[in-house]
């Protein structure tokens, strides 16, 4: 962006109003973790010391206890007045204070697709005796999938309700724990059934037969992937809302009976929960790492944020966890209607809750009529067929508007067709009449009868979730809602339209979708591995899953998905159980700034767990490519004797900045000016006596080497296809020192972790052209995603009117839908959005280095602002603010005033190398390397 600089005047700070809610923090104590002791007696002593410290801290905090942890990371979660936090941190018992970030909730045919049922038959492994913790909404242990009866029973052998039904996870919410982890939402029950349910026979009874010869097609609900494993229900949610109790449940998982003997720790923990744009240094990640250190496999849902860069959630992005993406299998249990002498699959509308059993003729309006306009034709006693546009961008109206118009015309129901092989979303309809959307195959089959005037259908509630549908074309395709990451996703698993146990129904099932449903599929396979190899480390169990996940997952258009969406591929239970050679480590190079030609190395350690010599050939298989970037396996042939190990080096070579081009992942849509990354990815493939694979990833970007020598712009820029070095010249408004690390003596105005550093302000400034006012923000560290965990906010006053401009992503009803960034300006008094401008002045068709940067420009159209000087202050919002923070801002820069009527004339044009920069300027070199993008003159 090329903008003018302008003069600087003095001004006053505009302070946003502070919330009145208490703050929820995890107080980490100066005590030994019980799990790190050597004997049960020492563990009990450590736990007693921690409990005593926690009680002293609580008595001095004036707060309310939410949870207490002693095994993994000693501490106490409490809700307290923000003003009490600094004194709390100075207590001698306290090591650190962490702000808690609430987490949200994010089969038989799937077991066949992943060959888990084949593994049962081939290896006779069913998870016997393996302990799986379901950290979720609880489990309805009364359901036939878990044997029924009271708690505990033969399947749900333990657990705890850490929350209580009324707990919501909101700031200040205090749980009411009890001993009974009965589910009151349904999510945890469904998850538990996928991981380790017994299965339910057609007559509704619990399956008690052999899993080596089970007839999956005859069952009402199929078995979980580890059908004989033992379940522990760790209930951290109430009947609604989020949770800050995940850490307490993970702590409990190390010692379920609390006797200080950790031999009864859980073997596998499933976390089908998290938060989008999560940070690997989230407080819950401390507990994940401690569990892994002590031999507990942690499987976590990657999140349902969709195809957005960096949206994958925490704690799934903890490197030690096994993060699971969501792919599809061909099977779905759908709703149904009757027509032409058989049942047809589809979905009933959500809003209609009345009784349902209608048999009526179906009529259509004029050709192509969609019902988005009022319907003049009387439709009394008929069901009306209304055409449906599957393109969200061009659809004239939704199902609610169509159903309303049909109801007003007297219709008894609505039929909607589709041209897609799988539904992209549910339909709402209205509360007055039922609506039903047919699958693509059903739409095609019933249309001739419709056109011939002979179609009659029966809509009945007895066919809800009662008609199986098999669509082979969608098997091993990505579910669009599955989150994108850089390199944290390990594998994919079926998670769309999964049919599993329904809470509160005794023996019925429910169809749910999401990474929450994919993760327990993998947790069950991990349990089979734990049973087969109790001496393997967590890293080895993870490697077995990753190395053998050879199912190729594709986009809806048939393009292969890369590790950023699906890790190494769709999990394969049979191959994982067959693995006796493992490839440990990864070949993730992350973001690579390229100023000169470079090479970098990663190592993969091969281990032969078998009893025979193994010969392997190694090569790199690209999936997404970037010109000028190559990967090479330095040792193409490896011989591993029994019990032997070997190290293989993967070399990344980049020819230089001039060779790079910004080529997108071919599955990424660039519509609407979307921002994107250039990412080189693929797999290191080992073939020969065994087949293994390890994901490879790098995100290279060229960097300029521009700077200021005295008062002139000097150095080397970028001028090539896709990349052109850009700079912004602003009038310096204020500089801010680097925040101290949070510690005992500093609990506000400090950085709690590396993620918070990307909100630590360094410089702010403003400038203008004839059409735009623009604010510049520079921080002390880089953000991965400017509108993810870090959000610049400018509050300013001009002409007696207050405004706020924030960096935001394009949204639809509050949900982010694309990597399209704007500076969105609102009037403070009314909340009215008066302007949106692309960040840095350009949409994604022009690269301005928005990802992995520490400078950004927020423009505002001058046409929406009154004339006069602008008083402004800049703050940085984040999920990871200081424990005693009172405004949800990591940092606030000193206030400044900018008068855009006093623009320096010589800087109102494009700045070139060699041009003079006047004193008092702030210069952004957007494409420079980290730490060198913001300079002052």
Helical spans, DSSP H, in 224-279:
246-253
Is the bond into 152 cis (omega within 30 degrees of 0)? yes
The crossing angle, in degrees rounded to 10, of helices 116-123 and 515-532 is: 10
Alpha-carbon gap, residue 935 to 921, rounded angstroms:
8
Q: Are 301 and 271 in contact (CB under 8 A)?
A: yes
Element housing 800 (H / E): none
Nearby residues of 534 by Cβ (< 8 Å), 6 or more positions away: none
Structure tokens at 7: 């003069």
- Of 516, 568, 704, 921, the active-site residue reads 516
Count the alpha carbons within 13 Å of 878 in the hemisphere toward its beta carbon.
33
Question: What backbone phi and psi angles, to 5 degrees, belong to 119?
Answer: -65, -35
Confirm whether 136 is a catalytic residue: yes
Confirm whether 190 is a catalytic residue: no
Alpha-carbon gap, residue 617 to 614, rounded angstroms:
10
DSSP string over 398-450:
-HHHHHHHHHHTT-SEEEE--SSSS-SS-----SSS-EEEE-HHHHHHHHHHH
Element housing 591 (H / E): strand 587-594
Alpha-carbon gap, residue 491 to 495, rounded angstroms:
12
- Of 160, 187, 190, 926, the active-site residue reads 187
Q: How would you label 381-402 residue by residue, b for 16+ Cβ within 10 Å and e otherwise?
A: ebbbbbbbeeeeeeeeeebbbb
Nearby residues of 398 by Cβ (< 8 Å), 6 or more positions away: 428
Cβ neighbourhood burial of 7 (10 Å; 0-12, 13-18, 19+)? middle
Q: Are 315 and 271 in contact (CB under 8 A)?
A: yes
Nearby residues of 819 by Cβ (< 8 Å), 6 or more positions away: 308, 309, 674, 675, 676, 809, 844
Question: What are the percentages of helix, strand and coil residues in the chain, rounded to 5?
Answer: 20, 35, 45
DSSP string over 517-585:
HHHHHHHHHHHHHHHH-TTS-HHHHHHHHHHT--BPPB-TTSPBPPHHHHTT-B--HHHHHH--EEEES
State the sign of the Cα–Cα–Cα–Cα dihedral 44, 48, 51, 53: negative
Look at residue 327 and give its three-state secondary structure: strand
Look at residue 468 and give its three-state secondary structure: strand
Of 664, 622, 488, nearest to 567 (Cα)?
488
Alpha-carbon gap, residue 720 to 644, rounded angstroms:
49
Alpha-carbon gap, residue 302 to 437, rounded angstroms:
30
Cβ neighbourhood burial of 768 (10 Å; 0-12, 13-18, 19+)? buried
Alpha-carbon gap, residue 491 to 569, rounded angstroms:
5
**Beta-bridge partners for 606:** 583, 646
Alpha-carbon gap, residue 374 to 387, rounded angstroms:
14
Alpha-carbon gap, residue 225 to 495, rounded angstroms:
13
Q: Give the number of other CB atoms < 10 A from CB of residue 358.
A: 16
Question: What is the SS3 string spanning 337-383?
Answer: EEECCEEEEEEECCCCCCCCEEEEEEEECCCCCCCCCCCCCCCCCCE
Strand order in the sheet with 629-633: 581-584, 598-608, 645-654, 629-633
- Of 61, 108, 136, 568, the active-site residue reads 136
Confirm whether 516 is a catalytic residue: yes
Catalytic residue annotation? 136, 187, 516
């Amino acid at each position: 962006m090329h903008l003018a600089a302008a003069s600087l005047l003095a001004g006053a700070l505009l302070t946003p109003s502070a919330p009145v809610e208490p703050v929820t923090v995890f107080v980490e104590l100066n005590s030994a973790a019980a799990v790190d002791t050597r004997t049960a007696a020492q563990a009990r002593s450590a736990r007693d010391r921690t409990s005593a410290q926690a009680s002293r801290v609580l008595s001095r905090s004036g707060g309310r206890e939410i949870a207490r942890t002693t095994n993994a990371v000693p501490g106490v979660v409490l809700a307290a007045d923000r003003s009490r936090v600094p004194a709390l941190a100075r207590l001698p018992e306290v090591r650190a204070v962490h702000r808690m970030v609430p987490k949200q909730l994010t089969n038989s045919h799937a077991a066949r697709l992943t060959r888990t049922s084949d593994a049962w038959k081939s290896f006779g492994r069913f998870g016997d005796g393996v302990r799986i913790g379901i950290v979720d909404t609880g489990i309805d242990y009364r359901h036939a999938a878990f044997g029924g009866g009271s708690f505990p029973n033969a399947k749900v052998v333990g657990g705890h309700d850490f929350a209580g039904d009324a707990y919501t996870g909101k700031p200040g919410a205090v749980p009411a724990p009890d001993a009974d982890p009965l589910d009151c939402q349904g999510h945890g029950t469904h998850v538990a059934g996928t991981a380790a349910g017994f299965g339910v026979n057609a007559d509704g009874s619990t399956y008690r037969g052999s899993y080596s010869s089970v007839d999956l097609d005859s069952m009402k609900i199929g078995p979980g992937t580890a059908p004989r494993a033992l379940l522990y229900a760790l209930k951290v949610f109430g009947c609604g809302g989020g949770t800050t109790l995940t850490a307490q449940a993970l702590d409990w998982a190390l010692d379920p009976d609390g006797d200080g003997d950790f031999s009864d720790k859980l073997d596998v923990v499933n976390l089908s929960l998290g938060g989008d744009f999560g940070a690997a240094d989230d407080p819950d990640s401390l507990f994940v790492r401690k569990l892994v250190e002590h031999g507990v496999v942690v499987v976590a849902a990657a999140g349902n944020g969709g195809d957005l860069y960096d949206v994958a959630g925490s704690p799934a992005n903890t490197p030690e966890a096994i993060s699971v993406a969501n792919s599809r299998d061909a099977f779905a249990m759908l709703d149904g209607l009757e027509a032409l002498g058989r049942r047809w699959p589809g979905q009933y509308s959500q809003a209609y809750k009345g009784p349902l059993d209608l048999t009526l003729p179906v009529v259509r309006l004029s050709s192509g009529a969609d019902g988005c306009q009022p319907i003049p034709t009387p439709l009394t006693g008929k069901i009306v067929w209304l055409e449906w546009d599957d393109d969200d961008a061009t659809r004239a109206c939704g199902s609610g508007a169509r159903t309303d118009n049909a109801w007003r015309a007297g219709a008894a129901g609505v039929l909607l067709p589709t041209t897609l092989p799988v539904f992209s979303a549910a339909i709402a309809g209205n509360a007055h009449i039922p609506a039903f959307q047919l699958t693509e195959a059903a739409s095609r089959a019933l249309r001739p009868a419709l056109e011939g005037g002979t179609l009659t259908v029966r809509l009945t509630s007895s066919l809800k979730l009662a008609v199986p549908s098999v669509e082979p074309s969608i098997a091993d395709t990505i579910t669009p809602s599955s989150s994108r990451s850089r390199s944290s996703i390990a594998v994919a698993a079926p998670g769309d339209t999964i049919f599993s146990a329904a809470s509160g129904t005794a023996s019925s099932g429910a169809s749910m979708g999401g990474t929450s449903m994919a993760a327990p599929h993998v947790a069950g396979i991990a349990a089979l591995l734990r049973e087969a190899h109790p001496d393997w480390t967590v890293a080895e169990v993870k490697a077995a899953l990753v190395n053998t996940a050879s199912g190729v997952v594709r986009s809806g258009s048939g393009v292969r998905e890369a590790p950023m969406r699906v890790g190494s591929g769709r999990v394969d239970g049979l191959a994982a159980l067959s693995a006796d050679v493992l490839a440990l480590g990864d070949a993730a190079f992350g973001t690579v700034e390229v100023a000169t030609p470079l090479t970098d190395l990663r190592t993969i350690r091969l281990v032969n767990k078998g009893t025979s010599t193994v010969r392997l050939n190694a090569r790199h298989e690209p999936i997404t490519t970037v010109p000028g970037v190559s990967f090479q396996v330095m040792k193409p042939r490896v011989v591993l004797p029994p019990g032997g190990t070997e190290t293989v080096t993967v070399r990344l070579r980049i020819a230089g900045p001039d060779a790079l081009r910004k080529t997108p992942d071919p599955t990424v849509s660039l519509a609407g000016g979307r921002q994107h990354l250039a990412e080189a990815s693929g797999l290191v493939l080992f073939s020969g006596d065994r087949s293994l694979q390890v994901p490879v990833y790098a995100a290279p970007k060229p960097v300029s080497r521009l700077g200021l020598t005295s008062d002139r712009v000097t150095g080397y820029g970028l001028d090539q296809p896709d990349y052109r070095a850009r700079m912004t010249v602003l009038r310096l408004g204020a500089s801010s020192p680097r925040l101290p690390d949070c510690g005992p003596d500093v609990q506000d105005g400090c950085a709690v972790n590396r993620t918070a550093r990307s909100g630590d302000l360094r410089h702010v400034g403003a400038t203008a052209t004839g059409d735009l006012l623009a604010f510049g923000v520079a921080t002390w560290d880089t953000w991965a995603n400017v509108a993810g965990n870090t959000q610049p906010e400018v509050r300013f006053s001009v002409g007696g009117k207050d405004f706020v401009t924030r960096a935001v992503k394009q949204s639809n009803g509050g949900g982010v839908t694309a990597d399209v960034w704007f500076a969105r300006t609102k009037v403070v008094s009314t909340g009215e959005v008066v302007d949106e401008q692309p960040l840095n002045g350009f949409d994604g068709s022009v690269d301005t280095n928005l990802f992995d940067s520490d400078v950004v420009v927020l423009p505002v159209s001058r046409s929406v602002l009154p004339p006069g000087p602008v008083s402004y202050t800049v703050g940085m919002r984040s999920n990871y603010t200081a424990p005693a923070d009172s405004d949800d801002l990591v940092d606030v820069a000193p206030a400044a005033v900018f008068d855009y009527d006093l623009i320096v004339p010589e800087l109102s044009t494009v700045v070139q190398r060699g041009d003079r920069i006047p004193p008092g300027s702030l210069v952004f070199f957007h494409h420079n390397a980290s730490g060198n993008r913001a300079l002052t003159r």
